[in-house]
Structure 1
Amino acid sequence: MVSGTHTTRAALTPPVLAALATVYVVWGSTYYGMKVAIETLPPLGMLAVRFVLAGALLYAVLRWRGVPAPSRREWAWSGVIGTLLLGGGTGLVALAEREASSSVAALMIAVSPLFASVFARLWGERTGTREWLGIGVGLIGIVLLNLGELRATPTAAALLVLAPLCWTFGSQWSRRLPLPVGLMASAAEMLAGGAVVALLSVVVGEHWGPVSSRSAWALAYLVVFGSLIAYSAYMYLVAHTRAALSTSYAYVNPVVAVLLGVFLAGEQLSGLGWSALLVILTGVLLVAWPRRTASEGPAH
């Protein structure tokens, strides 16, 4: 991620498409992965291990390849962004899921593109009419997908509102901060964010017990794919695409999560559920479709 650099945020280039596919599929699969992992692991403790391990591995590889270590100033800002994204974003979701269903969590996180567009406007980035339409269509699809599943305590509901606010604000703010260049930003943010989540685990009094092989393998998947690969892909999108597009994963992830539940866990999906998936994908298409530049004429 190249922070503070204003790049063209419209073209769906091959790297952007690859990053989108990675974030869409991998982060969608982490719903199932986290469900398996917390069978015998404490939620926040599991996330702390996930982020610290992923961050340390990525940092070690980058340093071995000669990438400069972050400066004190870059470490400080990486700590701020890592806390917002991983501590405030993912960490609060993990806390909320003790008292809320995963479908409620998916619904609330689905408002991320809306929050991102609002925050982007604070820094002068324009959100087009079609993007707003896509955001609205996607939210309607998420509501349809979760009809009958809206169960959460007031505390969990509040945490699930705060989580995407922290995540999207941190994502948009990171574009304007002096962060490390490229993947070193991801490594520093995961290390700092993981430390914050570890502190949260201690504060809430989580306890560790025997860990099953299923949970261990699920944690390994979350470290390598959910954090090392997908988080780095997401930070690339934040730096190179529009806010509405970089956060469009929030619509697709529930789709992937539902499909994995159907095919791996034997869950059933009603006709209304399949209709909701179609609506969600329509919203994503509206958000992701490239804008016409000022030099382009009307389509024929």
Structure 2
Amino acid sequence: MTEVDQPRRNLPWIALGVVYVLWGSTYLANRYIIVSMPPLLASGFRFMTGGVLLGLLVMVFAGPRAFGMSRAQFGTAALSGLLLPAWGNGLVIVAQSQVASGLTALLIASVPLYIAVLRALTGDRPRRATVLGVLVGAVGLALLVLVGPSGGSGGVSGSAWWGPPLVLLAGAGWATGTFAASRMAVPANPFALATVQQLIGGTTLVVVGTAVGERLHPAAVAPVSWWAWLYMSLFVSLGAFSAYAYALSTLPVSTVATYAYVNPVIAVLLGVVVAGERFSIMQLVGGAIVLLAVVMVIAAERSARAPVECG
């Protein structure tokens, strides 16, 4: 391997590192967005902006034909747009008025556990290690929910009991959308898929936010919220997804899947260092149990698919 080829070999790992950091930082960014922005409208306009920009890039680099899709493929894109950006991210940013960013990330780490359950319910025979991982994760999630956000809110605007359960409900939507997209027809171009997802999810959030009485007054928005919103709209919506798509095309799926237990760690560290969030001993124990469960499930699934990947 020549010295010229070495940087090219490192690019996939750099891309995966970008996914770790950018996706891990979304929870902290959301926290600053809702300081002076209504959550649903802010999230909706963020996805609409990201969708428009990503769509323009697809048009420039791949041409209009990249958006050619059948009715079934468009239906998958629309459904996943409702379940991922709208349901998943929408409920998360609403819940973050009551739950610290780090704790939110630990609860969202349950997504791989949900997917394992969905696979079992639809006929896949799970491995014993997968079942054990899901059971361990249930214990950790129960501990996080029972302890609640008190003591770990770290300055968020409230500590209502419904915060952690709402995050778990958001995770269920994200897992369902991810699982459905893996079983249904999807557009050939993943960036076209992401464009439709963001536009439909963003539009849904704007409509729902307006219907429930949210109003956005730009003059009243604090600078920190604007900067956080721009970061989410540009760097996360464009940079993180592009890095994820590149990593997924060049690294084993099981390796890319490690973001599921690295992102929460990044989120917790950012919450503590940047926002001064605090966690009780029981919350840390519950979070550690959830992350252990995710590692167990991903390792079990990696082992089950190892012969296919090696071929």
Range of TM-score over shorter length: 0.7 to 0.9
> Could you tell me how far apart the structure 2 residues matched to 1:294 and 1:78 are?
29
Inter-CA distance 295–284: structure 2 relative to 1 (3 Å threshold)? closer
User: 2:94 is aligned with what amino acid?
Assistant: L
> Could you tell me how far apart the structure 2 residues matched to 1:56 and 1:286 are?
38
Residue number in structure 2 paired with 1:228: 238
Residue number in structure 2 paired with 1:194: 202
CA contact (8 A) 1:186 1:235 kept: no
What SS is found at the alignment partner of 1:189? helix
Q: CA deviation at 1:237?
A: 8.3
Residue number in structure 2 paired with 1:47: 43
For residues 207-234 of structure 1, give each alpha carbon's deviation from its aligned partner in whole angstroms, at most 9, with x where no partner exists.
Answer: 2222222211111111123222334556
Q: CA deviation at 1:94?
A: 2.5
CA contact (8 A) 2:140 2:289 kept: yes
> Could you tell me how far apart the structure 1 residues matched to 2:291 and 2:215 are?
40
Within a 5 Å distance, the mapping from 1:91-240 to structure 2 comes to: 91-100=90-99, 102=101, 105-137=104-136, 148-150=147-149, 153=160, 156=163, 159-180=166-187, 181-209=189-217, 210-231=220-241
CA contact (8 A) 1:53 1:223 kept: yes
Indicate the RMSD between aligned Cα atoms, in angstroms.
Answer: 3.8
> Could you tell me how far apart the structure 2 residues matched to 1:102 and 1:113 are?
19
Q: CA deviation at 1:44?
A: 0.8
Moved more, 261-270 or 74-83: 261-270
> Could you tell me how far apart the structure 2 residues matched to 1:255 and 1:147 are?
21
Q: CA deviation at 1:71?
A: 3.2
Residue number in structure 2 paired with 1:75: 74
> Could you tell me how far apart the structure 2 residues matched to 1:158 and 1:293 are?
32
> Could you tell me how far apart the structure 1 residues matched to 2:125 and 2:15 are?
23
> Could you tell me how far apart the structure 2 residues matched to 1:134 and 1:185 are?
31
> Could you tell me how far apart the structure 2 residues matched to 1:40 and 1:223 are?
17
What SS is found at the alignment partner of 2:303? coil
What SS is found at the alignment partner of 1:39? coil
Inter-CA distance 175–233: structure 2 relative to 1 (3 Å threshold)? farther
> Could you tell me how far apart the structure 2 residues matched to 1:110 and 1:99 are?
18
User: 1:70 is aligned with what amino acid?
Assistant: G
Q: Aligned residues: percent identity?
A: 33
Inter-CA distance 294–90: structure 2 relative to 1 (3 Å threshold)? closer
Task: Say which structure is richer in helix.
Answer: 2
> Could you tell me how far apart the structure 2 residues matched to 1:162 and 1:17 are?
32
Inter-CA distance 184–102: structure 2 relative to 1 (3 Å threshold)? same
CA contact (8 A) 1:85 1:171 kept: yes
CA contact (8 A) 1:100 1:156 kept: yes
Aligned residues: 282
What SS is found at the alignment partner of 1:28? helix
Gaps of 5+ in 1: 1-12
Inter-CA distance 85–64: structure 2 relative to 1 (3 Å threshold)? same
Inter-CA distance 90–71: structure 2 relative to 1 (3 Å threshold)? same
> Could you tell me how far apart the structure 2 residues matched to 1:294 and 1:80 are?
31
CA contact (8 A) 2:133 2:294 kept: yes
CA contact (8 A) 1:171 1:238 kept: no
Moved more, 69-78 or 17-26: 17-26
